[in-house]
Amino acid sequence: MTTVTDMNATRTAVALRNLYVVRFGFALVWAVLLLLTGPASGPLGTALLVIYPLFDVAAAIVDLRSSKTARPAAALYVNTALSLLTAIGLAVTATSGVPAVLRVWGAWAITAGIVQLIVAISRRGLGGQWAMILSGGLSTIAGTAFILQAGTPAASLTSLAGYAIVGGVFFLISALRLHRTTKSA
């Protein structure tokens, strides 16, 4: 029984490691594209804003399907719903200006950060989750900062690129830690 449990945990760790590497790559490419296109890029900028939470939906679905153990399904379903609502909210508010986008993104970062904390804490036995715990906590702080920034004259979407890069780095760190865990198992 222990061997089966260990093998399931190893498979889950490998699946998460692979997903986290993809999430790192996506975040990096997305951030660069956002910085290159700028906030006033019209439909392209709107598409970029909407694609990020839609990618999060896809990642949550992959997570649900691939991590047979240590998958807090309820939290992943909540994350999927939050990200889908955010994509819709961003599509609607993208033409309303940077402050509106920052408020929607900020609310999503706060709520998704809380969900990420819950998921990572429940998976801490797999290893490599401290980076996800830290990322979830920082996401809630960043979300608050986005909402506060929306009320200033310096409101800018470039901070979203920084947020994506930092989040991507945390995914990479977690992937590397999971890789080390799977090698020792």
Residue 53 has pLDDT above 90, yes or no: yes
Q: Cα–Cα distance between 113 and 183 in angstroms, integer? A: 29
Q: Which two tokens stand for residue 8?
A: 């399931």
135 to each of 34, 88, 121, 157, 165, how far by Cα in Å? 21, 24, 12, 20, 11
Q: Count the neighbouring beta carbons within 10 Å of the beta carbon of residue 78.
A: 18
Task: Write down the mean pLDDT value for the chain.
Answer: 88
pLDDT of residue 26: 98
Asked if 126 and 12 count as a contact pair (C-beta separation under 8 A), the reply is yes
Q: What angle do CA 34, 64, 116 make, to 5 degrees?
A: 55
pLDDT of residue 70: 57
Residue 149 has pLDDT above 60, yes or no: yes
- pTM recorded for the entire structure: 0.89
Asked if 115 and 74 count as a contact pair (C-beta separation under 8 A), the reply is no
99 alpha-carbon distance from chain centroid: 21
| Average pLDDT estimate for 8-23 | 86
pLDDT in tens, 111-137: 999 999 998 898 887 777 889 899 999
Asked if 174 and 18 count as a contact pair (C-beta separation under 8 A), the reply is no
